[in-house]
Amino acid sequence: MVDTLTRKERSEQMSLVRAKDTKLELQVRRLIYSLGYRYRLHVKDLPGKPDIVLRSRRKVIFIHGCFWHRHKNCTLARMPKSRLFFWKPKLEGNKARDKKNQKKLNAMGWSYLVIWECQLNKLTTLRTKIIKFLDEGKN
């Protein structure tokens, strides 16, 4: 399948994809804040600059888009049909980088939770998952 956009149009469209303060991230942040938890954002001294950091609990939350971070068995994580020579290494590299950062966080004594884009469709389940993660190990 051929791309319907020119190279310049595709480049402009891709430049609009945000790394921080995405709709997904804002939705999760609102949910966590409404549950009474307070957090920091994108802490640079932690591997992977986690989206949400709760230092006192030594917990971080990553909010991943299913496409960009290759959510296994998810329909949103489909591989593009064109320019596979570009997309495959890029997307697999994202996945490998995420795994490496998660291992580093564990080695530093931090716990992490990954929230996937598709999980935002089930807010009550997500709410329960977040509460369980953040209160885990708390006395």
Q: Is residue 10 part of a domain?
A: no
83 burial class (0-12, 13-18, 19+ CB within 10 angstroms)?
exposed
Q: Is residue 4 part of a domain?
A: no
Whole-prediction pTM? 0.83
Q: Domain total for the chain? A: 1
Q: Is residue 3 part of a domain?
A: no
Domain span at 67: 19-135
Angle at 24 between CA 34 and CA 82, to 5 degrees: 170
Token pair for 3:
């791309």
- pLDDT digit of tens for each residue in the chain (139 aa)? 566 767 787 677 666 666 676 888 999 999 999 999 999 999 999 999 999 999 999 999 999 999 989 999 998 888 888 888 888 999 999 999 999 999 999 999 999 999 999 999 999 999 999 999 999 866 4
Token pair for 125:
């389940």
Q: Is residue 7 part of a domain?
A: no
Q: Is residue 56 part of a domain?
A: yes
Q: At 43, which CATH number?
A: 3.40.960.10
